[in-house]
Amino acid sequence: MKIIDLRSDTVTKPTLAMRQAMMSAEVGDDVYGEDVTVNRLEAVAAEIMGKEAALFVPTGSMGNQLAIMTHCSRGEEVICDASAHIFHYEMAAAGQLSGVQLYPLLNLHSEMGISSLSDHIREPLSYLPRTRLICLENTLNRAGGTVMDVARMAAVYRLAGKFGLKVHLDGARIFNAAYALQCEVRELTQYCDSVMFCLSKGLGAPVGSVLVGPAEFIAQARRYRKLLGGGMRQAGILAAAGLVALADTSHLLLDHQKARRLALMLAQFPGVKVNPAAAETNILLIELEKMPLALFLEELQRRGVLAGPMGRSAVRFVTHYDVSMEDVERAGEMIGKLLPSP
């Protein structure tokens, strides 16, 4: 039985082109700055994102934490959305590594959240932490891969500048956002001081993320990467797959179509809450109304479909290039048979 794995777009396997590029990659010692392929990846990434420089890192979490370490001093505060990856899934690293406090706000990415953002920026009083950084996430994973458009990103960036703050973008799936908005990636990234994006999610590379920003910022982040054990030596073998991934990202559009198709199928069934309009990219969230979450996931796995929990009653499905539209159709049929009758 073929397993249809919809847990995450991190489960993709490297393509044949990636494997061939990895096998033939020209390498050197990246800690000395001598890995030609890593250098090429960083240059390409900086160009795509419209920034001065870039840094290849093992993971997106490391990229986000390096940004926080570089932008902030100990005892300062980082504003983020209450659903942000840095708040939920990075093991309180901002506090452990950088000594900063996260200040999560509800619906930060919405127009209403942005309009009240200035109310949450600390006054310069001796007994308050200093607000230093605003962290956005586009697409927003826990909101179902929803997109923050150019106008809202610009509004946050202008407000941050007014208060002397920096903006970091957790752009793990920023290419998904750009395709959903039918714009160039740099149209979004122009409204932040630094960006982290993942190569190992929808882009399909086996390992790695990239942090981009001003040259001086990246130089300091490179020092912190070494501090955290991120000096990867002959990392060109990994960077080569990233270059292949960046050469053609158009398959993300098909991933979005798969998620919308699954949403439309599941919306027909009783026992779940599904909003097909909310499936903006490659992530679909559904709410189970009757069936216990653990039982649903267990029974779904028995039928050859893997999904992931999101909270106590929500299920997350993530489409990617290793699942076909036919796989999505089959998964939808299996879910329909599994759900209890009205």
Angle between helices 60-71 and 215-227 (to 10 degrees): 120
Contact between residue 218 and residue 54 where contact means Cβ atoms under 8 Å apart: yes
Contact between residue 142 and residue 111 where contact means Cβ atoms under 8 Å apart: no
Which residues, 6+ apart, have CB-to-CB distance to 292 below 8 Å? none
Distance (Å, whole) CA 41 – CA 45? 6
Average pLDDT, the chain: 96
Which residues, 6+ apart, have CB-to-CB distance to 110 below 8 Å? 152
Provide the pLDDT confidence category of residue 342 given band limits of 50, 70 and 90: low
Mean pLDDT (whole number) for 67-77: 98
At residue 290, the pLDDT reads 86
Three-state DSSP state, 287: strand
Q: Domains of the chain, with CATH numbers?
A: 12-247 (3.40.640.10), 250-338 (3.90.1150.10)
Provide the pLDDT confidence category of residue 167 given band limits of 50, 70 and 90: very high
Q: Residues 289-328: pLDDT tens digits?
A: 989 999 999 999 999 999 999 988 899 999 999 999 999 9
Q: Residues 169-217: pLDDT tens digits?
A: 999 999 999 999 999 999 999 999 999 999 999 999 999 999 999 999 9
Bridge partners of 316?
285, 308
DSSP state of 146: B
Distance (Å, whole) CA 67 – CA 169? 9
Q: Residues 119-137: pLDDT tens digits?
A: 999 999 999 999 999 999 9
At residue 1, the pLDDT reads 76
Evaluate if pTM is beyond 0.85.
Answer: yes
pLDDT beyond 70 at 341 = no
Q: Residues 247-288: pLDDT tens digits?
A: 999 999 999 999 999 999 999 998 899 999 989 999 999 999
Largest interatomic CA distance in the chain: 64
Which residues, 6+ apart, have CB-to-CB distance to 338 below 8 Å? 291, 296, 299, 300, 303
Distance (Å, whole) CA 326 – CA 342? 27
Mean pLDDT (whole number) for 47-69: 98
At residue 177, the pLDDT reads 98
Signed CA dihedral, 232, 237, 238, 243: sign only: positive
Q: Per the omega criterion (within 30 degrees of 0), is the bond before 139 cis? A: yes
Q: Is 320 exposed, middle or buried (0-12, 13-18, 19+ CB in 10 A)?
A: buried
Closest by CA position to 196, among listed 233, 224, 231, 221: 221
